[in-house]
């Protein structure tokens, strides 16, 4: 009986990991569409970031209320409140810098630099675990680094005019790393949807102030792009990301972020004639191989939250 119970427990845990992995893949596929929607929006890039947040907040609050009962407002105090507020501010800075960079560089570059958190958040995961990567993890990191270098190297050599946009997106990636760390620290105290709702709400005011200070056009004439940005990137994309953070190691979350520049490169090639060369394709293949390795090395562990 003990063996049967243990097998059932392991089966449920494996199923939870499978759902978390599926959520992580879906999150990155949807988040990769964000730069395209920013380009399609008829407002400034920082204003688009504000509407991504502002339009998402009501939906996230409703989903959080529907999924888990009354919102846990009583928990929002002390270190948890500060962590969520810091996460919201870092996310606002990330979106502002990233959206400014998106319109100044290639879609693949914007997404790749914006996801420098791929390596930084993975490093954070190994740091808090106080362990070096094992062989499969080390190989996955090496392949991901090679793929990243191949995707970037060709673009930087041929398009030096993109350097300002690349720098903005790189800064965004640093802010996104701090946001992910804040979410990871708060995830043990709150469920995925309440945490995302509160952190998104904390981003709204900073982004509104940044949009007003930029002097951009604030109100859209056509709401299609910003609504898709809010629902696809923030409600579903970030929702799935926060869920996955509660169940998967930071090293897996980090490397999976590299799905975004792969998808963005495809969109750039399809819609904006941002052609992919042989080195780009080799880079994409290396990133894909790194994800296969890191996925294959997943084992059920203590990180299993609701």
The residue among 214, 194, 195, 193 whose CA lies nearest residue 48 is 214
What is the pLDDT at residue 156?
52
Q: What is the pLDDT along the chain (306 residues), one digit of tens a residue?
A: 445 444 444 444 555 788 998 999 999 899 888 888 998 999 999 999 999 999 999 999 999 988 877 778 888 888 999 999 999 999 999 999 999 988 888 766 777 777 777 778 878 877 876 777 777 778 888 888 888 777 766 555 445 677 788 889 889 989 989 999 999 999 888 888 999 999 999 999 999 999 999 999 999 999 999 999 999 999 999 999 989 988 888 778 888 887 887 887 787 777 777 677 777 777 778 877 877 777 665 554 445 444
Q: How many CB atoms lie within 10 A of CB 96?
A: 25
What is the pLDDT at residue 159?
58
What is the pLDDT at residue 128?
77
What is the pLDDT at residue 4?
46
Q: How far apart are CA 97 and CA 208, in angstroms?
A: 14
What is the pLDDT at residue 226?
96
The residue among 181, 30, 192 whose CA lies nearest residue 111 is 30
8: exposed, middle or buried (C-beta count within 10 Å: 0-12, 13-18, 19+)?
Answer: exposed
pLDDT digits (tens, 9 = 90+) for 118-148: 778 878 877 876 777 777 778 888 888 888 7
> Residues 209, 271: contact at Cβ < 8 Å?
no
**In sequence order, which residues have a C-beta less than 8 Å from that of residue 297 and are 6 or more positions away?**
134, 136, 137, 140
Query: Which ranges in 187-301 belong to alpha helices (H)?
Result: 192-214, 224-228, 239-245, 250-256, 259-272, 278-296
What is the pLDDT at residue 293?
75
What is the pLDDT at residue 294?
72
What is the pLDDT at residue 144?
81
41 Rama class: left (phi>0) / alpha (psi -120 to 50) / beta: beta
What global pTM score does this model have? 0.79
């Amino acid at each position: 009986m003990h063996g049967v119970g243990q097998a059932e427990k392991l089966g449920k845990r494996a199923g939870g990991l499978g759902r978390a992995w599926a959520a992580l893949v879906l999150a990155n596929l949807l988040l990769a569409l964000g730069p395209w929607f920013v380009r399609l929006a008829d407002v400034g890039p920082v204003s688009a970031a504000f509407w991504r947040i502002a339009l998402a907040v009501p939906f996230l609050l409703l989903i959080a209320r529907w999924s888990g009962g009354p919102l846990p407002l009583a928990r929002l105090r002390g270190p948890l409140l500060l962590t969520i507020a810091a996460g919201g501010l870092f996310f606002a800075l990330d979106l502002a810098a990233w959206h400014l960079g998106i319109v100044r560089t290639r879609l693949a570059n914007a997404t790749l630099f914006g996801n420098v958190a791929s390596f930084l958040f993975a490093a954070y995961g190994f740091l808090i675990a106080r362990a070096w990567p094992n062989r499969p993890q080390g190989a996955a990191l090496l392949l991901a680094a090679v793929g990243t270098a191949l995707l970037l190297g060709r673009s930087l050599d041929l398009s030096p005019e993109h350097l300002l946009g690349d720098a903005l997106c790189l800064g965004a990636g640093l802010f996104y790393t701090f946001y992910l760390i804040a979410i990871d620290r708060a995830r043990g105290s709150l469920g995925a949807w309440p945490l995302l709702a509160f952190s998104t709400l904390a981003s709204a005011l900073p982004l509104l102030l940044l949009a007003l200070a930029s002097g951009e056009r604030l109100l859209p004439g056509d709401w299609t792009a910003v609504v898709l940005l809010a629902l696809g990137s923030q409600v579903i994309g970030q929702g799935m990301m926060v869920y996955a953070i509660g169940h998967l190691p930071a090293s897996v979350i980090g490397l999976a972020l590299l799905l975004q520049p792969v998808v963005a490169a495809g969109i750039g090639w399809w819609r904006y004639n941002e052609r992919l060369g042989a080195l780009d394709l080799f880079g994409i293949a290396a990133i894909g191989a790194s994800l296969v390795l890191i996925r294959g090395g997943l084992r059920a562990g203590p990180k299993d939250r609701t």
